[in-house]
Amino acid sequence: MSAAFDNMLPSSKPIPMNAVLQKSLIGPYGPWLASQMPDPPKLSFRNDIWSKIEDWKPSAHAKAQEQIAEPLIKDTIAVTTKKKYSYDGLHIEKLTWQLPYGRPVEAIFLKPENSTGKLPAILALHDHAGKKYFGKRKITKTSDVQHLLMEAHQKSDYGGRAWANEMAKRGYAVLVHDAFSFGSRRVFYEDMAGIEWGPLKAEGRTDENAEDVRNIEAYNEWAAQHEHLMAKSLLSAGTSYTGMVLAEDRIALDILSARKDVDAERIGCGGLSGGGLRTVYLGGMDARIKCAVCVGFMTTWKDFLLNKAYTHTWMTYAPGLANYLEFPEILGLRVPLPTMVQSNNHDSLYTLPEMKKADEILATVYSKAGHPERYSGKFYDGGHKFDIQMQTDAFDWFDTWLGK
């Protein structure tokens, strides 16, 4: 047994007799493991040994960085503008940039048409949703012609709106890029070797049927099975799925911050579901994010362990991090920077008691830091979504702290 795991499991702590009778995703092993998890964890600001965030944050941030194992990308990244045009009152740019590996990243930049000067900005983070064929298109609309799967997705998850467009219409510069393993950054079937899961028609096609619904759904089904393989391979390389996504999100933040039409001191980020998860890590780890809104992705490690790990992407899990910080405390690393978390009472991806516990943890962190007003935890009726009311509350939060 490793020293790190040995430290996590104190031998002197008794195991409740009823633990072996309880059920979990992993049978009787789950309750026992949960009973051994320290609460609060080793580097939680809630521990009595810290009273000032400046004494606590350096060690907590450094340990989180170590556990996430984010790859360091030192290359200078050049951005190419493929197209500029106006649509629905917005100036739109289609951008691309090449990282040291993989196919080029594609992105969409939006701002109000005829805007001048430096604007506050949002790095808008798209969701996962088991739809890896798509990325940036999930939360944008760049013409009257929209793929019917994206039209349906926005209707079901976003109240029928492309929320990145709505944010830009409020006076913001908004950048939406394809996350690692999504959209332009997805794993193309013809680029892969070593396993066979049957033919895929969607990849490598350039004719008018390339985005046939059946082809896209076949790819998404394949990509869902491939995600565990990606996670194992990344761990074998000494990094993690979490680290890869964070590294590429930071590059996008670099690009947004460097624009002449963006005020680099007024940048926020946010997103639903997988976008909320990305907000937890980017918002927690990078202080350039001055305001963060995490939507539909907040609970505790115990909720994942016992109840809900199967509903979530490998992007969630950084090995060993739970020894040091509770899941909401990753986002809490940004204290005292303003943070909003929006949760839905009937979201089947989490249990409500653990969502409430996560909210209490973040509220405690901000209160102990002396800035309770800079945290807002809001709960809404309904299932997994970022609907119009939630968007309005989130946009108002950005307005309050970034100064439109």
Class of domain 3-72+260-402: alpha beta
Q: Which of 361, 358, 363, 333 is nearest to 343 (CA)?
A: 358
Please, what is the average pLDDT of the chain? 92
Q: What pLDDT sits at residue 195?
A: 84
Report domain extents, the chain: 3-72+260-402, 79-117+133-258
Task: Give the residue with greater pLDDT, 25 vs 200.
Answer: 25
3-state DSSP helix/strand/coil % of the chain, to nearest 5 = 45, 15, 40
> Is residue 53 pLDDT above 70, yes or no?
yes
**Amino acid, single-letter form, for residue 226:** H
Give yes or no for a cis peptide into 336 (omega within 30° of 0). Answer: yes
Q: In whole angstroms, what is the distance from residue 39 CA to residue 358 CA?
A: 12
224-251 per-position pLDDT tens digit: 999 999 999 999 999 999 999 999 999 9
Q: What pLDDT sits at residue 17?
A: 46
404 band by pLDDT with thresholds 50, 70 and 90: low
Q: Which of 352, 337, 341 is nearest to 393 (CA)?
A: 341
Q: In whole angstroms, what is the distance from residue 248 CA to residue 70 CA?
A: 10
Q: What pLDDT sits at residue 91?
A: 98
163-199 per-position pLDDT tens digit: 999 999 999 999 999 999 999 999 998 888 888 776 6
> Is residue 51 pLDDT above 90, yes or no?
yes
Q: Are 290 and 337 in contact (CB under 8 A)?
A: yes
Q: What is the pTM of this model?
A: 0.93
206 band by pLDDT with thresholds 50, 70 and 90: very low
211 band by pLDDT with thresholds 50, 70 and 90: confident
117-171 per-position pLDDT tens digit: 999 999 999 999 999 999 999 999 999 999 999 999 999 999 999 999 999 999 9
HSE-CB at 121 with a 13 A cutoff on CA atoms is 27
